[in-house]
Amino acid sequence: MPPAPDTAPDAAPIEGRQHDAWVAALDELERTAAMAAHPSFRGTAGEPHEPGEPGELLAPWSPPAGIGPLPAALADRATRLLGAQRDAEALLQGERARVARHLVTVRAVDPARPARDSVYLDVLG
């Protein structure tokens, strides 16, 4: 008769690999949440950026396949991460609203002005 699953000789290495896989997944999520919340990461539209540098576009996250359920030992860390992600989301939503207001102002300028007319913008006040 084979040993019970929790007493199998291979159980500890499998649990260790599962734990390590979740640690790596949480590390990546924490990195992207911190970058999304940092103003320098968002950069300026149209600027070229190297991967991992400010302004980098992030691909949607998908949970790694086959790592099993989150180990109980990492539950507190995952809960803190969720809070950080929600904070970053709120910050980004506020930034999005600010940009939308700016676009309304920019679009209010008449683009049909003849090219020969000078246009001045008072940036000081």
Compare 40 and 92 and report the one with higher pLDDT.
Answer: 92
Q: Which pTM was predicted? A: 0.61
37/31 Cα distance (integer angstroms): 10
DSSP string computed for the chain = -PPPGGG-TTHHHHHHHHHHHHHHHHHHHHHHHHHHHSHHHH--TT----TTSTTPPPPPP-PPTT--SPPGGGHHHHHHHHHHHHHHHHHHHHHHHHHHHHHHHHHTS-TT--TTS--------
pLDDT tens digit sequence for 88-108: 889 889 988 999 999 998 888
pLDDT tens digit sequence for 62-96: 878 888 899 999 999 999 999 999 998 898 899 88
What pLDDT does residue 24 have? 93
Compare 32 and 122 and report the one with higher pLDDT.
Answer: 32
pLDDT tens digit sequence for 6-25: 444 455 666 788 899 999 99
The pLDDT-based confidence of 114 (bands split at 50, 70, 90) is: low
The pLDDT-based confidence of 44 (bands split at 50, 70, 90) is: very low
CB 33 within 8 A of CB 88: yes
